[in-house]
Chains A and B, each alone.
Chain A
Amino acid sequence: MRNRLPQLRRERHLSQEKLATMLGVSRQTIISIEKERFDPSLPLAFQIAAIFDLRIEDIFTPDAPL
């Protein structure tokens, strides 16, 4: 799954640590999502979307077209 998390985080001047704290997960989780090595759970994806005030599909896009 591809994502725009690093770009969105930089636009809002959020550190990985800060975002992790806001989401209640480890910083390693943010690192892994940004490196596209870990797909977040649906509740976590919703939380991320809510923080950036976007829809999930605005942040995450599947590797293969649906």
Chain B
Amino acid sequence: MGSRASTLLREEEIEEIKKETGFSHSQITRLYSRFTSLDKGENGTLSREDFQRIPELAINPLGDRIINAFFPEGEDQVNFRGFMRTLAHFRPIEDNEKSKNSPASEPLNSRTNKLLFAFRLYDLDRDDKISRDELLQVLRMMVGVLEKVDVEQKMSIRFLH
């Protein structure tokens, strides 16, 4: 009982994604049907708007940064392959994968790649450095503008007469 989505995804493509990301066959077909349901333009790619349509992601303070992680520099579309590559960072590291030592091609879900993903959330201009300013900007995304009001209130005294 393959799902309908699998008929649109070629078997060799699934094999390639499997090799690259480590997801299982059924995980790939199920994520593909999720991908197509998010793809409102029905052109086989997702845009930033497609992601923003997920309410839970839209209210996430770091939502924009997370969405950005799916898009390579200067691009506004991500295909299924790229979508899966980004998701693969969040696959848990299994025991049999830890023992494997292949420095040539590190799996996407390795500890280093997970940390690199988090690092890039702060690295707004993608120059592989986090500046003081960038850190502040991301922090501001997380806490919003409420603090400003707070400071204004706390730092004022009502003068009478």
Do A and B actually bind? no
